[in-house]
Amino acid sequence: MFNNVADQVKEAAGFLKLSLPALKVLITPQRILKSDVVIKRDNGQSESFTGFRIQFNDARGPFKGGIRFHPQASLDEMKALALLMVIKCAVVDIPMGGAKGGVTVDPKKLSSAELERLSQAWVKAFYKYLGPDQDVPAPDVYTNEQVMAWMLDEFERIAKKKSPAFITGKPMARGGSAGRDTATAQGAFYVLNESLKKIKLGKKKLSAVIQGFGNAGFHIGQLLHQAGFRIIATADSQGGIYDIRNGGMNPELLMETKKSRGLYSGCYCQASVCDCGNYKKMNNKELLETPCDILVLAALENQITVANAKKINAKVVLEIANGAITKEADQQLTKRKILVLPDVLANAGGVTVSYFEWLQNKQKQTWSKEKVLRQLKDKMTVAFRHVWQVSQGYQVSLRTGAYILAIGRIVDAMKQKGRI
C-alpha cells in the first residue's frame, strides 16, 4: 500500500521537476515510532501488544492523523495512511502534516476496562512525541470518541494541565466539534456537487450505487437521498441489494432494518413490512459493475483494480474510502472518461473538521454546527476548484492534479524551513 501511494507522489513530483533529494524527503517518514503496549487484563495477567505512530512531514504544521485498534494493523499500512494524510491536509490547505497510529489488537476481545487501559498505555508509550503543537491524534478504525476521551485524560494527567487541543474526535462535552460525525460524508457531498457542475450533470433523479454502509456510507446516502438522487443499490460487509424498480431506496429505512435484523441484504423493510419482491440480493462484483450515474466507494481499499476497471459502468466515481482504486485502475477509468473524485480530496472533510475542532480548542471557542458546515463547504469547494484547475492545466486526472497541488504546497513550506 505504501509503494502505491509513494508511486503516485513520484508521478506528481515529476510534473514539478523536483530533485531526487527533495523527493526522498517527501516519501520518507520523519519518525517511525514502535513500542510494546502492555496492559493488565481483567484476570490480573499482563499482555503486550504492538503499538505504532508514524509521523510524516510537519513542514506545514503539527502531525495529524487517526489511531486504529485492529488485528491487521501494520507498519506498511501506517506509513501509507500517514503519507496520504500529509497530501490530504495540503489539498484542502489546512496547516497540518500527516500521521497514523494504532495497536495491533482485536478490540472486540477486550472489555471496556481493558480498552480504557489500552488507550492509556498507548498515550504513555508515545507521550513525548504528542501534543497540540506537535502531533494531534484522532479516531480511526475501531476507535471512537470514548477512546479519545480516555486518551485525553491520560495525556492531561501526565502533562498536569488541561489540553483539549491534544486530540480531536472527542465528545462534545470535552471540547469536541459539532458536525464531526457527518464530516467525511458532508465534505464528499460538497465535492460531488462541484464536480457535477463541471460535467453539466444535474442532481435530480441521478442514480447512485453505494458500496459500504458504515458511518460515511450511511451519511452520504442520506445526503444523496435528500438531494433527489435515486439510490438503486447498496451493500455492507454482509452483502448487497439492488432495487429492481429503480425507484430508489431510503437510507434511513435501510439502517433501521440493519439495526433490527443485523443485516439488510436480500430484503428491504419499511417499519414491520418487508417487501423482498422489489429487491434482489447482489454480491460485491455485481454491485461495482451496476450501471449508474454515481458510484460511491465507502468500504475498503483495492475495490477497483485492473481486473474490473473495464467493467465499471458509472459516470462519476466518488472515492470516500482510502485507496479504494488502484493506480493502474485509476488510469483506466480516466481513459474511459469516467470522472474519479479521488480519496485525498473526496474524504478530506473528516480531517478538515478535525482541524476546526483543534482550532476551536486553541482559541477557546465553540462553533455552531451551521458555522462548521459553512466553513467546511468553503474549504471543500475551493479545494475542488484548485484541483480541477491544476488537472486541466497539466492535462492529468483529478488524482494526479490533487497530488501536484499538494506537493507544491508542501515543498514551498519545506523550502521556507530550509529542509530542502
Q: In what order do the strands lie in the sheet with 230-236?
A: 279-282, 239-243, 230-236, 207-211, 292-297, 314-319, 339-341
Q: What does the DSSP 8-state code read for residue 131?
A: B
Amino acid at position 353, single letter: V
3-class secondary-structure state, position 55: strand
Q: Which residues of 397-407 are buried (b: 16+ CB within 10 A; e: fewer)?
A: bbbbbbbbbbb
Question: Where are any strands of DSSP class E within 237-300?
Answer: 239-243, 269-270, 273-274, 279-282, 292-297
CA torsion 305-311-316-318 (nearest 10°) is -40
Of 147, 125, 108, 110, the residue nearest 38 (C-alpha): 125
End-to-end CA distance of the chain: 26
Active site residues per annotation: 100
Contacts of 216 (CB under 8 A, 6+ apart): 184, 185, 188, 298, 320, 321, 347
- For the chain, what's the residue count? 420
| Contact indicator for 355, 64 with CB cutoff of 8 Å | yes
**Strand bridging mode 273-274 / 230-236:** unpaired
Question: CA angle, 337 as apex, 331 and 339 as ends, to 5°?
Answer: 80
Question: Where are any strands of DSSP class E within 224-326?
Answer: 230-236, 239-243, 269-270, 273-274, 279-282, 292-297, 314-319
- Which three three-digit cell numbers place residue 267? 430484503
Q: How many helices (H) and strands (E) does the chain have?
A: 14, 14
